[in-house]
Structure 1
Amino acid sequence: MLRDIDPILSPDLLHALRAMGHGDEIVIADANFPAEGLGPRCIRADGSSASDMLRAALSVLPLDTFVPDPAHSMAVVDDPDAIPEAVADFQRIIDDTADHPARIAPLERFAFYERAASAFAVIQTGERRLYGNIILKKGVIAP
């Protein structure tokens, strides 16, 4: 255990978050997401919700301020304007927790998968709400 570090941030996950560089992306994925088959390293967090994982990750991860959209969700198939419960929750967490809050930009399902395939890592949570997936782009911490 470490002081002031959320205990759901496992040693493997802390290592990945620290090893990421500016502009690298990490996916926080729900239980239905095809994480193992995409290609990036998959870090299992089956006992955690995506919301809890997002809150924990943002406690140590700065969002990128050099891009217009440092956070992306998966758009609802056949209803791209819908905002799923999980995504609304993600937005509240970003607004309350991120060092530089940003609006979550939706990506079409297959565009989301393609972007996730080039991420630094995927955190597979036990999230059961549909569309409980988010991609975060790491920013910098100023000197």
Structure 2
Amino acid sequence: MLTSDLLHPSILRALANTGHGDKILITDGNYPLDSDVNENTEKIYLALKPDLPTVTDVLETLNTQINFEKAEVMTPGPGEQPKIYAEFKKILTVDDLSKLGRQEFYDECKNATNLKLGINTGETRTYANILLTVGVR
């Protein structure tokens, strides 16, 4: 029996197949995961109902299993930033998040041949998408 926080076998397998510099995407329930990632990305649909699980639930769990060296977020543009960004920073203990415009974020996810895993959640907050780069130990 596994004793870690992460029990999902497909996510565990995908994490085991990632290396330094590979990317993992965690999306809100609005993200078009089927069409806006490359064809080699393993897609996992975790949404059970609205806000179950949330992006931050998944991020907290993945953060106990693997190291991340960079985090990129989809931003609505100038002005007030989504409140979830503060939660991302707290979980990842990073000073800043790299901000990409909506279309730039979609393009990055489609074109990144090293995007190994995409996880769609039940998150209902908008702009709650995060693209993570795997770091070293």
For the aligned pair, the TM-score class normalised by the smaller chain equals 0.7 to 0.9
- Structure 1 counterpart of 2:62: 57
Taking only the aligned residue pairs, the percentage that are identical comes to 33
- Structure 2 counterpart of 1:43: 44
- Structure 2 counterpart of 1:130: 126
| Structure holding more strand per residue | 2
| Structure holding more helix per residue | 1
Q: Is the 8 A contact 2:14 2:42 kept in 1?
A: no
Q: SS in structure 2 opposite 1:106?
A: strand
CA distance in 2, matches of 1:121, 1:54: 13
- Structure 2 counterpart of 1:72: 72
TM-score with structure 2 length normalisation?
0.85
Q: SS in structure 2 opposite 1:56?
A: helix
Q: SS in structure 2 opposite 1:35?
A: coil
CA RMSD of aligned residues (A): 1.5
Q: SS in structure 2 opposite 1:128?
A: coil
Deviation per CA, 1:62-107: give whole Å up to 9, x if none.
113xxxxx1000011xx33422022221112112xxxxx3521110
Q: Is the 8 A contact 1:73 1:107 kept in 2?
A: yes
Q: SS in structure 1 opposite 2:132?
A: strand
Unmatched runs of 5 consecutive residues or more in structure 2 = none
Number of equivalent positions: 127
TM-score with structure 1 length normalisation?
0.82
- Opposite residue 5 of structure 2, the aligned amino acid is D
CA distance in 2, matches of 1:102, 1:132: 18
CA distance in 2, matches of 1:91, 1:83: 13
Q: SS in structure 2 opposite 1:2?
A: coil
CA distance in 2, matches of 1:102, 1:54: 17
CA distance in 1, matches of 2:31, 2:132: 16
**Pair 1:114-2:107 in alignment:** yes
